């Protein structure tokens, strides 16, 4: 196993739509990142941040305007014939004839795939084993996504691109898909995931990058990205206690009797608060303390909050090691 070899290397990557100079638009503006083999890397960002424009370059569908992309050591656009058989792309709505059955569609796709997996086995993997004879037009939205995933898996891909893989799936379908993606990763498949579901990214990603306006503004593990955001403590101020008596060394926001504290030192702040409450023999109703979620971190970054002001060009905030 060539575990430490990089699956993807992106350097100074730009993508421009339209003409050079005036009238054109840079959707991707100087990206640098790497994805190790066997890693699950999630690309996040608000609508129009440039995720699809980036992933299309990784998939070799377009040539970068500037910069380089290497997938499994090769240029995915210039060396498409070498790279394409080794990657799997989960297309959004594959656009297959609606009259074909699930099995016929998979067989057709297998016909243009090098050394395809067994069709029945692949459909079983995505939970469509019992739906082989059903026509595409009769599938639910979630089942179509499962079929899209099955087709992406037919060629035993070393790198798998998943674009919004669980859109339209019911909660059970999402869990099943997550389990399958984890199994694939455990078997050494590298996965590049784009998703708007932050719980999905938090659940699956080894590392992630958050994009805004064509740039990566933060990269790191989900824990690193959230650790850089303040934690939150909330509780009800006990009757008869004025806010000024609160023992906290960090500022607290008081709304009616509800108190909210945001802190980078959750354990210290909580200890301070609880010791004070015991000393004063107070009960803190509605006490709730927790670290930032990926969703909170994302919203802050997407809105252009702290850590989001990456300079023009290549640099971005690297969270953690």
Residues that bind ligand ATP (CB under 6 A): 17, 25, 27, 45, 47-53
Smallest gap from residue 49 Cβ to ligand ATP (A) = 4
Smallest gap from residue 31 Cβ to ligand ATP (A) = 12
Smallest gap from residue 197 Cβ to ligand ATP (A) = 12
| CB 85 within 8 Å of CB 159 | no
- What does the alpha-carbon distance between residue 67 and residue 58 come to, in Å, rounded to a whole number? 12
- What does the alpha-carbon distance between residue 168 and residue 77 come to, in Å, rounded to a whole number? 31
Smallest gap from residue 118 Cβ to ligand ATP (A) = 33
Pick the closer one to ligand ATP by CB: 51 or 144: 51
Pick the closer one to ligand ATP by CB: 19 or 242: 19
* DSSP at 250: S
Coil, strand or helix: which one is 13?
strand
H or E stretch covering 290: strand 288-290
Give every CB contact of residue 43 below 8 A, 6+ residues apart in sequence: 51, 54, 55, 192, 193, 194, 208, 209, 211
Q: At what angle do helices 102-111 and 141-153 cross, to 10 degrees?
A: 30
∠ CA 294-300-305, nearest 5°, is 140
Smallest gap from residue 297 Cβ to ligand ATP (A) = 18
Pick the closer one to ligand ATP by CB: 25 or 179: 25
Pick the closer one to ligand ATP by CB: 29 or 229: 29
DSSP assignments along 128-162, one per residue: -GGGTTSBGGGS-HHHHHHHHHHHHHTT--SEEEE
Pick the closer one to ligand ATP by CB: 148 or 176: 148
Pick the closer one to ligand ATP by CB: 164 or 300: 164
Pick the closer one to ligand ATP by CB: 53 or 189: 53
Pick the closer one to ligand ATP by CB: 27 or 237: 27
Smallest gap from residue 44 Cβ to ligand ATP (A) = 9
Place of tokens 């196993």: 1
Pick the closer one to ligand ATP by CB: 51 or 70: 51
| Exposure b/e, 17-35, CB count within 10 A at least 16 = b | eeeeeeeeebbbbbbbbeb
Smallest gap from residue 274 Cβ to ligand ATP (A) = 42
* DSSP at 314: S
CA atoms within 13 A on the CB side of 91: 8
Question: Which neighbouring-strand residues pair with 194?
Answer: 43, 163
Smallest gap from residue 17 Cβ to ligand ATP (A) = 3
Smallest gap from residue 204 Cβ to ligand ATP (A) = 18
| CB 109 within 8 Å of CB 88 | no
């Amino acid at each position: 196993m060539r575990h430490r070899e990089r699956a993807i290397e992106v350097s100074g990557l730009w993508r421009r739509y339209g003409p050079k100079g005036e009238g054109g638009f840079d959707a991707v503006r100087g990206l640098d990142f790497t994805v190790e083999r066997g890693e699950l890397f999630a690309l996040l960002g608000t609508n129009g941040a440039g995720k699809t424009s980036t992933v299309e370059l990784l998939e070799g569908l377009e040539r970068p305007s500037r910069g380089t992309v290497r997938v499994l050591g090769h240029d995915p656009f210039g060396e498409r014939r070498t790279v394409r058989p080794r990657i799997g792309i989960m297309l959004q709505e594959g656009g297959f004839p609606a009259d074909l059955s699930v099995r016929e569609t998979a067989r057709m796709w297998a016909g243009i795939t090098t050394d395809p997996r067994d069709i029945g086995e692949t459909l079983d993997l995505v939970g469509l084993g019992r739906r082989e004879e059903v026509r595409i037009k009769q599938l639910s939205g979630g089942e179509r996504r499962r079929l899209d995933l099955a087709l992406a898996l037919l060629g035993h891909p070393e790198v798998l691109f998943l674009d919004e893989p669980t859109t339209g799936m019911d909660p059970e379908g999402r869990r099943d898909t997550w389990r399958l993606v984890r199994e694939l990763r455990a078997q050494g498949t590298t996965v590049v995931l784009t998703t708007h579901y932050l719980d999905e990214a938090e659940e699956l990603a080894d590392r992630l990058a958050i994009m805004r306006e064509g740039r990566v503004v933060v990269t790191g593990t989900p824990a690193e990205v959230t650790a850089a955001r303040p934690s939150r403590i909330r509780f009800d101020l006990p009757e008869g206690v004025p806010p000024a008596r609160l023992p906290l060394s960090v500022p607290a926001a008081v709304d009616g009797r509800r108190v909210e504290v945001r802190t980078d030192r959750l354990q210290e702040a909580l200890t301070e608060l609880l010791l004070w409450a015991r000393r004063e023999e107070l009960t803190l109703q509605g006490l709730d303390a927790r670290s930032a979620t990926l969703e909170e971190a994302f919203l802050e970054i997407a809105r252009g909050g702290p850590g989001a002001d990456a300079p023009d060009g290549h640099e971005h905030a690297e969270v953690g090691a």
